[in-house]
Structure 1
Amino acid sequence: MQDTCGQGRGVVRLWTLLTVVRGRPHPSPRLQGDLTHDELLQALPAAETRFVVYNLAFATVEGARNEKTVLISWCPEAAEAEQRNAHSTSRNPIRDLLDGVQVYVQATDLSHLEYEELVSRTS
């Protein structure tokens, strides 16, 4: 998919990366600012859960620039059962707290978060 937004393929403005500790969300201080889509995927740990809120920039089929706020629920199968349970329990309360999220994605592996897959979910 060609990006005509002038921002590069899949450049995202990361709002926050959250982890759940003892049933409460905590921001991850290590990531902020603009990331490429590939950098975002690399930042997701293979064995820990996370919530990610960011703006996905893309071009529509007609070539118009567009941006959607995306909430990713990252819960890889390699995460410990206790962490997966805490993440699952926190998912709806976090989703309810966030105004303006236009796309919600549950992902257990990186194939669910491919750029084209996310863009296809925006329509």
Structure 2
Amino acid sequence: MAVNDGCKLRFLELKAKRSHRFIVFKIEEKTQQVVVETLGEPQQSYDDFTASLPIDECRYAVYDFDFTTDENVQKSKIFFVACTFGSRSPDASKIRSKMLYASSKDRFRRELDGVQVELQATDPSEISLDIVKERAF
């Protein structure tokens, strides 16, 4: 699976310049490459991020999560999220898509140098804000 150069470029913008709050990536099956689907503006919320993920399709995403520690220190962690929503569907195309995302995940994840936390979600509840907060600490 090829990774479009735009994916790495947008990720570097998120990591170094904080130009984006989140990035949603999808696999273009025709071209067999991962591409950027959605860019979140820096002021967008976690709810905006989760709303940008299709409920019945697989996606990869990164989210720049800002938080304050118990010592009142501002921090940020970059989360990699592998979403296989819709995986319960018996539709053959959904099963093929899930397999494609699962087999490509590790290679794509390695392209994104600087990710600090990884989440796997088969249901939207598995990437709730509470879970993200828990994993950030």
Using the size of structure 1 for normalisation, the TM-score is 0.81
Structure 1 residue 111 corresponds to structure 2 residue 120: no
Residue of structure 2 equivalent to 1:57 = 66
- 1:61 aligns to what SS in structure 2? coil
Identity of aligned residues (%): 25
Deviations 1:68-90 (A, max 9, x none): 01110011124610110110011
Structure 2 unaligned spans of 5+? 1-19
The equivalent residue for 1:20 is: 27
Matched, 1:84 2:105: no
> How many residues are aligned here?
110
Contact 1:72 1:106 (C-alpha < 8 Å) held by counterparts: yes
Amino acid at match of 1:67: S
- What is the CA distance between 1:115 and its match in structure 2? 1.2
Indicate which of 104, 110, 117 corresponds to 1:96: 110
**Does the 8 A contact of 1:20 with 1:50 survive in 2?**
yes
Q: Which runs of 5+ in 1 are unaligned?
A: 1-11
| Stretches of 4+ aligned residues off by more than 3 angstroms | none
CA RMSD of aligned residues (A): 1.7
> Which of the two has greater helix per residue?
2
Equivalent-residue separation in structure 1 for 2:36 and 2:83 (angstroms): 14
> Highest relative contact order (Cα 8 Å, sep 6+), 1 or 2?
1
SS at match of 1:47: coil
